[in-house]
Structure 1
Amino acid sequence: MCSTNKGDAMRPTREGATRASIGIVAGSGPEAGIDLWSKVLARNQTLFGEQFRGDLDAPRVVVLSEPTLGLSMDLQENEDIVWHSLKQTIAAIAVQADAYAIACNTLNLFAPRIASLGLPGEFVSFQSALSAWVASNRVDRIALLGAAPVTSLGPWSAYRSLSDLVAIETPADTAELHNLILDVKRLGSRDPSLRPRLQTLVEGLTSDHVILACTELPLISDIETGKRLIDVTDLVARELVDRSLAGAQGQASAARVQ
């Protein structure tokens, strides 16, 4: 159960509360699942504020990491094997979590197929989280940074219908962006060569709002820029925690902090 504090956030209360469990499908990006989980924990602690007790107030989180999902970087070539692997992983996590998400922008292309499976639990898609952010912030133009299947905005992009809501800019050098993402996976987010490359790509954009639509990019987004970087992973983490605090029955919805 939750109570409102000054109308800008939902503050959790503990009396009789039953929290919904959270599920994270990981593996497409070695650090992607950890990143989403850490943002879930940060969001959860923020909502508790000074009343946060630590372990006892943390959400129940189930994480399943399947490395073959990394083949999504070339989704057109690997669609069958990726979907087969994802379907098995989703089926396993859906019976363990009340609300779950895939820690990968590209794999959210399969959101309609996942919905058609009729599995228990609620699937929280990256598309729904980003669309909600666009609507609530009333932006009319964004830049979209992601892997090649995402930025193509074609049949392999989870965000191909986003253009119905907002004008979308993509970087001039999509190959460099795709290679940067591959290098984050290969070298790890601490490699010093990665952030200058992202900064160059960001500064080449004209949009004020830049959507980090790949789970590798937020890992290296601590760069100097006057643009607003929007981490879709963080938006999804907020959605998951809000559902967790609403309870297993999902009868209440926590307000988003913008």
Structure 2
Amino acid sequence: MTGARLGIVGGLGPLAGAHFYRRLIELTPAEVDEDHLAVVLISQPSIPSRRKFLADQGPSPAPALQQVVRELESLGCDLIAIPSSTTHAFYDDMAAAVHTPILHLLAEVAAALRSAGAHRPAMLATQATIDTGIYQPHFRPDLRPLYPPPTVQNKIEALINAVKRGDDVKPLSAEISNVVSGPWTTPADSVLLACTETPLITPTTCSLPIFSATDILARAVLKRLRPEHSPATQCSYGWWT
């Protein structure tokens, strides 16, 4: 077997990991099966909750995350991707555990926003991602993310949890459309689907450009492992993702 092999840390949650792999396939310019990347996806939902730990309500997930990246390295992966923004609070722990390079989702998102000229993205993220401020060090000074008020953030958290439960995504997409159409996004110039559950319920109606952290990560993988076939920045739906 030849060609680069990608390792995916899945289960964070399970649908987000599966959706990332699907988007990687869909964004890969391929004519036949052999044109796609070799992938090892370890979906390990038993990893302790990142959100609970960051809220001082549970054990650290770092040891379990380190175990997964070590296993991916042992299976010959050339690059590791983690389709979860909140989990990047433990990026340094994982990077220290292996020699295999791990893509940094937050840095890739920041670079994509910079390239597109976005300055005021409305953030759809977990409360843990917001509270830890893990995106901020990667944003340039003139990029000022817009965070929702508490009542709206509670709704976003509820929608994220609904995706994790496996609820029907169609009505959830309608609900998140209402969220991004609210007055809190008036100053925004774009929407960032930062939590990787939210691209599963991408707003069906939105007047702003939409960036998907999931798609940005998939494109970053292809840029590194298939640079000759890197997909275009704009997706087929006409949204910037």
Q: TM-score, normalised by structure 2?
A: 0.84
1:70 Cα shift? 6.1
For 2:40, the equivalent position in structure 1 comes to 62
Q: TM-score, normalised by structure 1?
A: 0.79
For 2:232, the equivalent position in structure 1 comes to 257
SS state of the match for residue 140, structure 1? coil
Residue of 128, 133, 138 corresponding to 2:107? 128
For 1:236, the equivalent position in structure 2 comes to 217
2:4 aligned partner, one-letter code: A
Structure 1 residues 55 and 78, CA, compared in 2 at 3 Å: closer, same or farther?
Answer: farther
Residue of 58, 69, 74 corresponding to 2:52? 74
Residue 197 (str. 1) matches residue 175 (str. 2):
yes
The alignment's C-alpha RMSD in Å is 2.1
Structure 1 residues 87 and 203, CA, compared in 2 at 3 Å: closer, same or farther?
Answer: same
1:99 aligned partner, one-letter code: L
Alignment gaps of 5+ in structure 1: 1-17, 247-252
Residue 175 (str. 1) matches residue 154 (str. 2):
yes
For 1:217, the equivalent position in structure 2 comes to 198
1:200 Cα shift? 1.7
Matched-pair contact (CA < 8 Å) for 2:62–2:94:
no
Map Cα deviations across residues 67-106 of structure 1 (whole Å, 9 max, x no partner). Answer: 1236123232356431111111111112321111112111
Rounded to whole Å, the distance in 2 between the matches of 1:177 and 1:222 is 12
For 1:107, the equivalent position in structure 2 comes to 87
Rounded to whole Å, the distance in 2 between the matches of 1:43 and 1:215 is 17
Q: Percent identity?
A: 25
1:150 aligned partner, one-letter code: T
> Counting strand residues as a fraction of each chain, which structure ranks higher?
1
Residue 185 (str. 1) matches residue 164 (str. 2):
yes
Matched-pair contact (CA < 8 Å) for 1:28–1:70:
no
The alignment of Structure 1 onto Structure 2 pairs a total of residues equal to 224
1:65 Cα shift? 0.8
Structure 1 residues 79 and 164, CA, compared in 2 at 3 Å: closer, same or farther?
Answer: farther
Alignment gaps of 5+ in structure 2: 234-241
Map Cα deviations across residues 124-181 of structure 1 (whole Å, 9 max, x no partner). Answer: 01112112112211222111111111123xxx34313245441110111212211111
SS state of the match for residue 14, structure 2? coil
